[in-house]
Structure 1
């Protein structure tokens, strides 16, 4: 998917999960969670030199939403080059040595796998911990950022699973891919935008629910935790996601 679609879908999903707890959470924590999701939603594309994470700009984002996203995106190249040269390349070398296979750098390879984004999240969090310690800044919000970054990466993979190129979730141990039918370059493909609206509307409903009915953040949180994956499952069915044959 395009960079703006990754960001919109991922932030809308995060917003739906966070919305029930918004009245009781520290606003700083909410900002860190959303920022971590934002960076993570683009991080797997650090294996492509023309990716949005290197440009400091979210291509396709328009209007006020685009201005906000592009304002935040100025910090993305720092994360992009760190992931590409200090995480992705070293991990590729390690996997090639462990598996005794020659490794060819490719888009939607290691960084588009569950192992790749999991290790990337851990290593990036380690780098940030070293930097924050050196600056003598507190580390209290780092776990929140790390978890949100990982969630953003996983959402990126789920989103790319809905496209024809698909994702090999178990790469490099398996090349079996899951793929869908969303073609994000055409003007007539409305499914990502429509689903973003659905997620955002659900998040808005979670925010106003306490003012309409007698409920608690815990009850709404459980509803969001169950409803969000169900909505994504429905979206993947609409996108006709299925397992592809080995390539």
Structure 2
């Protein structure tokens, strides 16, 4: 969606150009927000009238630009929430026209401010749908990754929008902004998988047992005595018996 908006400026490739091509890694200044506040709100509303965010219907095989299988997801207890513009992106060109109009009238800073606000409200709408589906509670943690969530003024705007929902007392403690969720998640998983098992036998692991990374670090650092080792081994044996 941000890319489609920016493509309307004709400053990037009209088919494969991205918002990142023009972003200078500098948030829009306060003066733009104050001076163009009304314009930003008007165009943000106009853009969101074209955006659908909902639980994906069961009778579709594609939603937006993503192949989906809602029936399979339902069978395994997963709720799919999708975002689309028109039908399978059919109205993305309308976003480009709006982007071009804003750029011609108000310039690039105002356009990027609108993109930031559009993305922040997209997150809010998504969370609202999740709330309606009873998927979010006051103990939920929300992770946001990628340029559509972490560049420009988006983190600040997202925190502000989520706070208005009244779900969390301190949104900052429940929302994480990650530069690359896939890469960092893979790194954490690799570290975790390499640390499965008992402190005495690090590879393998026991189903139902707790994470042993802390104990393994103590063992490898020479800080675990025989008494602790015996206790951990006994606990793991009990877990194996109860799960067998």
With structure 1 as the length reference, what TM-score do the two structures score? 0.27
Greater relative contact order: 1 or 2 (C-alpha under 8 angstroms, separation 6 or more)? 1
With structure 2 as the length reference, what TM-score do the two structures score? 0.28
Higher strand residue share: 2
Higher helix residue share: 1
The structure having more radius of gyration, on CA atoms, is: 2
